[in-house]
Structure 1
Amino acid sequence: MIQPLRAPSPQQALAEGEALLASAPHKALTQAEAILRQAPGYPPAEFLAARALRKMGKGKQAVARLDALARANGRVPAVLWELGQAAAEAKDTQRAIAALQALTQLQPTVPGGWFLLARQLRKAGRTQDAWRADLSGVHASSRDTALLKAAVAVQDGDLEGADRMLAERLARDSDDPPALRLHGEIAWRKGEMTPAIARVEQAVASAPGFDLARDFLIRLLLQTNRLPEALEHAEVLQASPIPSPGHKLILASVLVRLGHQERAAGLYRDLLARDADQPQVWQNLGHVLKTLGRQAEAVDAYRAAVTRQPTMGEAWWSLANLKTVKLGPDDIAAMKAALASLEDTADERKEDVFHLHFSLGKAFEDARDHAASFAHYDKGNALRRTMILHDADAFSAEVEAAQRTFTSAFIATMGNGGCPAPDPIFVVGLPRSGSTLVEQILSSHPMIEGTMELPEMMMIGARLQSRVDEGEFADFAAMIASLTPADRQRLGEEYIERTRIHRQTDRPLFIDKMPNNWQHVGLIRLILPNARIVDARRHPLSCCFSGWKQHFARGQTFTYDLTDIGRYYSDYVGLMAAWDTQAPGHVHRVIYERMVADTESEVRRLLGYIGVPFDAACLEFYKTERAVRTASSEQVRQPIFRDGLEAWKPYEPWLGPLKSALGPVLDSYPDAPSV
């Protein structure tokens, strides 16, 4: 006898409906309604029906059913989660907030609920509550085992493994803020700045209250010199409901980069008023005060730093680097004691160790103990050289490629092009060549604004060189030749636009004092044909030795070895001499010793080249009040003096490697060696 077919149980029918939900929600709804006809009010079927309605775009109907379910089953997180999502999609913000608040009370360790709640609170105009919800979501994410596993992989150096884990996670939820931030960190660690910034920007856009992600984004923007955006995010961070001294510190860092020194000083003073026992903040304040020319206050700030942390090498070097301050016997004893205390941790404290050696080198130089001075400078440089990358052969090859490329014939074939703006005055040369003096003289003119050492041209040059390094072009010449007039105009306009943030006045001309731009005189000619280029040059032994005993905060990797710096100076002289031959008169040269000997004549020549009338204020440049961030910041606030012209002389017995590297460049100064 044939048995009649049995209707499936509600559980079986429910499983079939669940299987249909993703691909055919209308069929899932039909299944749910059939179950409800057999078992009216059956909660799992009501839940299936509501989810099917949401997937079908019938948000209001879904909310009505979910709302009824929530009233009857208010302690079921899945119901509250679905109601929160459905209400959000139906633009029923208040109902979404109520459901998600109930959900996060039940499940405070589930990040998704907090992030969705934050978005709804923000829509309701409850910004501070939304910010706190985002922060709660971030805190909950710290317990997420999958995220923790990816983070451990990153710390262990398994970037590819972590990348795969996060890519899979983000494929499921593309707006997961903590996963996006960590994914951005992986790109950053790989040196892939564009995707790094994009991912962290997405994390911040998804969770604007994610303070740690915003802080990381600011640092990435600073690294890529996107200063206006960095400032915007740093200002936002100040409004966090969970205030942190770090927020003020990073805002101050951005302000310093933008040249807003007074406001940065105010932030540092606010932090110290709350807690004076912060040596790093005292040091930062000292840097700002030095830049502003408030030397006595800067000394006090640096001494406050080393008093609180005697092993703080950078603060000692900052004192020594004031040039007009002499470190005495008590300072020498304190620095020697600091070095001795660092012996057991020297490998972990290399920054402090080499800064202390540079500082002792300056202290013994002031004491005229040149043997001890050279020994400490030598130790500081040798240690620093182990921490940086500089390939002198590769650099010389790049310079030779530029020299071969930018011939008069090549320039003629490129024709007109570039951005016609006459605004920029590039002051180029080597560090410690007198370029800050030239900048101070020029910025004393009412038509010329001084800014700082701007990295924009170096960044444009590096970006173009990377196209050769990555194989897009066979060599440097092919890459440069590929630039169309439109390309060159775009690059020139990019430079003008990106440097605009540093211009604080309406003066028509401005100075870019990045010394390393001598490497790009040909590129400057192509993309900014009306720019002026001033080559500040100083005796090779004076310039190179001064650079060698100077520790630079960043860049200038060629300065930590006497042979390296001698080769670099020779490369510079060679390229500039070649350019003089190919484009006579395009670059104006200022010989430091001549400027010292006959200042007025040299200043008149310089202003004549720039194309501005003579102004007597340029002869009283030391009275011009402006921020100066270079190592010569105190010296250019005094009249020109001759004392430093031969500071290398007492060290001559140890300068053999430098003389050998300079070769004929040394004997022919101030002219270039004849080819």
Structure 2
Amino acid sequence: MTGSTTEATRPVSPASALPRIAALVGSAPARALAEAENLLQTAPGLGPAELLACQALRQLGRTQEALSRLETLARRDTRVPAVLWELAQTALAANASTAAISALERLTALQPGISHGWFLLASELRKAGRAEDAWRADISGVHASAGDPELVDAALAMNEGRLDEGIALLEARAARGGEDAPSLRLLGELHWRKGDMSKALDYCGRALERAPGFDLARDFRIRLLLQTNRLDEARREAEILVESPLENPAHRLLLASVLVRLGEHERARDLYRGLLDLKADQPQLWQNLGHVLKTLGEQAEAIAAYREAVARQPSMGEAWWSLANLKTARLGAEDIAAMEAALATLPEDSDEHAEDRFHLHFALGKALEDAKDYAASFRHYDQGNRLRRARVPHDPEGFSAEVAATAQTFTAPFLSTQGDGGCPAPDPIFVVGLPRSGSTLVEQILSSHSQVEGTLELPDMMIIASRLQARVDEGEFPDFKTMIASLTPRDRVRLGEEYLEGTRVHRKSDAPLFIDKMPNNWQHVGLIRTILPNAKIVDARRHPMSCCFSGWKQHFARGQTFTYDLAEIARYYRDYVGLMAAYDAAAPGAVHRVIYEDMVHSTEAEIRRLLAYLDLPFEEACLQFHTNARAVRTASSEQVRQPIFTTGLDAWTHYAPWLGPLAEALGPIEAIYPQPPAR
């Protein structure tokens, strides 16, 4: 027909054709390609049409053809992000890694605020063996995500305590295909704040799988691993983190903290010194260094480090207390004046400075005790304890009820029904009792034996016990005894093996036996014998007035929340001797008791008696325990590096005028010591 045109030759309007072709690329790529080529016939060189044609070619599997055309297009349209993105995608589909990396490097330079470009670039760089460049790309991707509106909204919900809302926002994002490393790490923190450590660790791990160079996620994961006592994993992650191409002293500081937890104090010391070489004006680091040096027995260096800390921050209460707590050091009149002046600068009602205040009171108590001003010393000890007690949770009634339930569980009839079970390994020696009872002395003596390795105050048994108690608290069992009775022989073997596996990271030698000196394990003697029937248990006991007063005037870095009130520590001591007496009656001879005063007055006889209980031959080195150079972390670290002395046995008597509440709360326990209370 004259004057008519066919559809194939009719001019095509780019404005109407381009959206239609774009809609077809995913569902009908062949048709999209035909229409794009038609459009290019009428509009040669039209960039958007050429891009759509290449996208269709990739969908059709014709990647080499698409790649060739895209490279030509990218050379012409150098600043079009969509072209570079499609070039990267096509190059990846064609296994052309070099071309993909080149396109992504150009794209991220053009649009540095687009996080997924950085993360994809990091992935390809890692495959190409360019590990450091990949790490930097991951970090850039994390920085780019900081402005992501969805992540900002989720973070705001978290910081305002709307945790479920934050989780819902991120889960909806993931359902739309928006799951990435920053959203996974944020989900981890949200679940951590809800108390779900398992999910927190899982999400952090997934974030690092997506972006191994995500330093903040690795830092967070290390802290989670420390909280769950997974120290070997924490060390592996920290060793990776310190290799970050972005130099950050905080990474080495975190590694040092992990090493301290693992007992690798020499390396931690070297890390702290290296950080101080870079910047000396860091009082917290000087304090950390002092702690490690004290543990290693380098007392003069420890004192110097603590003095560096307080010189730079005179109100740093913990450093003053650490200095005062070096049992072989003495603070003089100038130090007392400096601490009193520092205390006067701290507002009494300031929560921010509360820790400095109570540390300074404990330090002044010790300094004035050394100066024999016992009245002033007691006032400061008392004030420090009151301030500390107000900040720690402790339920004396609830704790006594738990102890009573334990005593009622592990009775002789109950133990006789247990039969065989538990892990048969004889490796652990548990040294239990109250803090300041002489347990560190026992540990030092035993660790001087060639067949025994000293470790630390290990939390593993308490973690197992807490998990079992949670089954009662959550209603799975009506009471503790029913829960323990439900454990099968296989359960008991598994729990014993779990303990041994968890503590293995602390064993550095090939000695067949090792010491766990967590004093609070006296609460779990029955559980220990249930899951580790061949383990040995040593109860270190000291005169109740001496032990309780010594614990009350000692500020503990963590735990031991019962020590900050004289009546409460007395009640705790009564609970302790009561439970141990009950277990002695249920299983005579299972626990060996070391009376501190006997050890001081008849050292060799007591050591021989102790070694006989452990089926170990006597070794002279056990008498020379003070020459043992092993690291000691407890408050007695300096005392056990000296021969036994008797001067501290009656130190509490200087404070007798003020210790009426302690004596009254102890009741008849003091008068019958060292005999146990009647059952």
TM range (shorter): over 0.9
- The residue that corresponds to 1:161 in the other structure is 165
C-alpha distance in structure 2 between counterparts of 1:672 and 1:56, whole Å: 86
564-573 or 4-13, which moves further after superposition? 4-13
What displacement does 1:139 show? Answer: 1.7
Structure-1 residue corresponding to 2:127: 123
Residue of structure 2 equivalent to 1:104? 108
What are the superposed Cα offsets for residues 194-250 of structure 1, whole Å, 9 maximum, x if unpaired? 111111122222212222221121111111111111111111122211111111111
Structure 1 residue ranges without an equivalent (≥5): none
Provide the C-alpha distance between the structure 1 equivalents of 2:295 and 2:144, rounded to a whole number of angstroms. 43
Show the counterpart of 1:261.
265
Show the 5 A alignment for 1:480-491.
480-491=484-495
What is residue 289 of structure 1 aligned with on the other side? 293
Q: Which amino acid aligns with 1:273?
A: D
Does structure 2 conserve the Cα–Cα contact (< 8 Å) formed by 1:18 and 1:28? no
Q: d(CA) in 2 for partners of 1:171 and 1:365?
A: 65
- Residue aligning to 1:657: 661
Q: Which amino acid aligns with 1:104?
A: T
For residue 596 of structure 2, what is the aligned residue in structure 1? Answer: 592
Q: How many angstroms apart in 2 are the aligned matches of 1:51 and 1:144?
A: 27
Match of 1:420 in 2: 424
Query: How far is the alpha carbon of 1:90 from its aligned partner?
Result: 4.1
Measured in 2, the distance between the counterparts of 1:239 and 1:347 equals 37
Within 2, Cα distance between the matches of 1:235 and 1:638? 36
User: Cα offset for 1:620?
Assistant: 1.1
Query: Aligned match of 2:337 in 313, 330, 333?
Result: 333
Query: Counterpart of 1:225?
Result: 229
**CA distance change for structure 1 residues 135 and 417 in 2, over 3 Å: closer, same or farther?**
same
Does residue 624 of structure 1 match 2:628? yes
Deviations 1:160-186 (A, max 9, x none): 222222222233346512222222122
Map 1:318-329 to 2 at 5 A.
318-329=322-333
Classify 1:26/1:362 alpha carbon distance in 2 versus 1 (closer, same or farther; 3 Å): same
User: In the alignment, which residue of structure 2 is the partner of 1:368?
Assistant: 372
Taking the aligned partners of 1:394 and 1:450, their CA distance within structure 2 comes to: 33
SS of residue matched to 1:452? coil
> Which of 543, 547, 553 is the aligned partner of 1:549?
553
Match for residue 495 of structure 1? Answer: 499
Corresponding letter in the other structure for 2:542: R
The aligned amino acid for 1:547 is G
Cα distance change of structure 1 residues 483 and 14 upon mapping to structure 2, 3 Å threshold: farther
SS of 1:349's equivalent? helix
Matches of 2:23 and 2:38 in 1, distance apart? 20
CA drift at 1:471 = 2.0
Are positions 1:454 and 2:419 aligned together? Answer: no
Q: Residues 388-430 of structure 1, C-alpha deviation per residue, up to 9 Å, x if partnerless?
A: 1111122112111211111222223222111111110000111
The SS at the match of 1:293 is coil
Distance 1:38 1:267, change over 3 A: closer
Does the Cα contact within 8 Å between 1:363 and 1:373 map onto a contact in 2?
yes
Q: TM-score, normalised by structure 2?
A: 0.94
Alignment equivalent of 2:141, drawn from 127, 137, 140: 137
Instruction: Please state how far the C-alpha of 1:107 moved relative to its aligned partner.
Output: 0.4
Summarize the alignment of residues 135-214 of structure 1 with structure 2, pairs less than 5 Å apart: 135-173=139-177, 175-214=179-218
Match of 1:33 in 2: 34
Q: Which residue of 1 aligns with 2:347?
A: 343
Q: Distance in 1 between matches of 2:461 and 2:89?
A: 49
Partner Cα distance (1:56, 1:392) in 2: 73
Distance 1:403 1:379 in 2: 35
Shift of 1:12: 5.2
Q: CA deviation at 1:459?
A: 1.0
Query: Which of 244, 251, 267 is the matching residue for 1:247?
Result: 251
**Alpha-carbon separation, structure 2, partners of 1:412 and 1:89:** 69
Output the CA distance in 2 between the equivalents of 1:39 and 1:182. Answer: 46
- Determine the C-alpha separation between the residues in 1 that align with 2:466 and 2:56: 55
* 1:475-522 deviation digits (Å, cap 9, x = unpaired): 212222222222211111111111111111111100000011111111
Unaligned runs of 5+ in 2: none
Q: How far off its partner does 1:600 sit?
A: 1.0
CA distance in 2, matches of 1:197, 1:108: 30
Amino acid of the residue matched to residue 284 of structure 2? Answer: Q
Partners of 1:244 and 1:326 in 2: CA distance = 37
Task: Give the Å deviation of 1:474.
Answer: 2.0
Q: Distance in 1 between matches of 2:285 and 2:249?
A: 10
Per-residue CA deviations over 1:551-603 (Å, capped at 9, x if unaligned) read: 11111111111122111111111111111111111111111111111111111
Q: Which residue of 2 aligns with 1:581?
A: 585
CA displacement 1:429-461 (0-9 Å, x = unmatched): 111010000000000111101111111111111
User: Could you tell me how far 1:49 is from its partner in structure 2?
Assistant: 5.0
1:233-283 Cα deviation digits (max 9, x unpaired): 111122211111111111111111111111111111111222221111111
For residues 559 and 638 of structure 1, do their structure 2 counterparts lie closer, same or farther at Cα, with a shift above 3 Å needed? same
Cα deviation per residue 1:136-162 (whole Å; 9 max; x = unaligned)?
A: 112222222332232233222222222
How many residue pairs are counted as aligned between the two chains?
A: 670
- Given that 1:422 and 1:530 are in contact with CA atoms closer than 8 Å, whether structure 2 keeps it comes out as yes
Structure 1 window deviating more from structure 2 (77-86 vs 479-488): it is 77-86
**Cα distance in 1 between the residues matched to 2:5 and 2:390:** 87
Mapped to 2, the partners of 1:483 and 1:70 lie a distance apart of: 68
* Residues 40 and 50, structure 2, Cα contact 8 Å, conserved in 1: no
C-alpha distance in structure 1 between counterparts of 2:464 and 2:429, whole Å: 17
3-state SS in 1 of match to 2:285: helix
Q: Given the alignment of the two structures, is residue 383 of structure 1 paired with residue 387 of structure 2, yes or no?
A: yes
In the TM superposition, 1:428-439 aligns within 5 A as 428-439=432-443
- Secondary structure (helix, strand or coil) at the match of 1:348 reads helix
Structure 2 residue identity aligned to 1:145:
P
Whole-angstrom distance in 1 between the partners of 2:284 and 2:327: 21
In structure 2, C-alpha distance between the alignment counterparts of 1:391 and 1:662, rounded to whole Å: 18
Q: Give the structure 2 partner of residue 311 of structure 1.
A: 315
The letter of the residue matching 1:130 is A
- Residues 1:299 and 2:296 are matched in the alignment: no
SS at match of 1:234: helix
Q: Structure 1 CA distance, aligned partners of 2:94 and 2:432? A: 61
Structure 2 letter corresponding to 1:401: A
Give, in whole Å, the separation in 2 of the partners of 1:672 and 1:72.
92
For 1:472 and 1:50, locate their aligned partners in 2 and report how far apart those are by CA, in whole Å: 61
**Separation of aligned partners in 1, 2:390 and 2:284:** 25
Q: Could you list the per-position Cα deviations for residues 56-91 of structure 1 after superposition, in whole angstroms to 9, with x for gaps in the alignment?
A: 766556545544443443322123223323433443
Q: Is the 8 A contact 1:293 1:634 kept in 2?
A: yes
* Residues 36 and 42, structure 1, Cα contact 8 Å, conserved in 2: no
Measure how far apart 1:623 and its partner are.
Answer: 1.0
Separation of aligned partners in 2, 1:360 and 1:87: 71
The structural deviation recorded for 1:301 is 0.7
Provide the rounded CA distance (Å) in 2 between the counterparts of 1:59 and 1:460. Answer: 57
Which residue in the other structure is 1:279 paired with? 283
Partner of 2:565: 561
The answer to whether the 8 A contact 2:462-2:521 is kept is: yes
Match of 1:419, SS state, is coil
Q: Is the 8 A contact 1:435 1:513 kept in 2?
A: yes
Q: TM-score, normalised by structure 1?
A: 0.95
C-alpha contact 1:14 1:31 (8 A) present in aligned 2: no
The structural deviation recorded for 1:9 is 6.2
Change (3 A) 1:358 1:88: farther
Of 517, 521, 539, the match for 1:517: 521
On the 8 A contact 1:175/1:202 being kept in 2, the answer is no
For the residues of structure 2 that align with 1:240 and 1:547, how far apart are their CA atoms? 43
> Aligned partners of 1:47, 1:480: CA distance in 2, in Å?
69
Deviates more, 1:553-562 or 1:657-666: 657-666
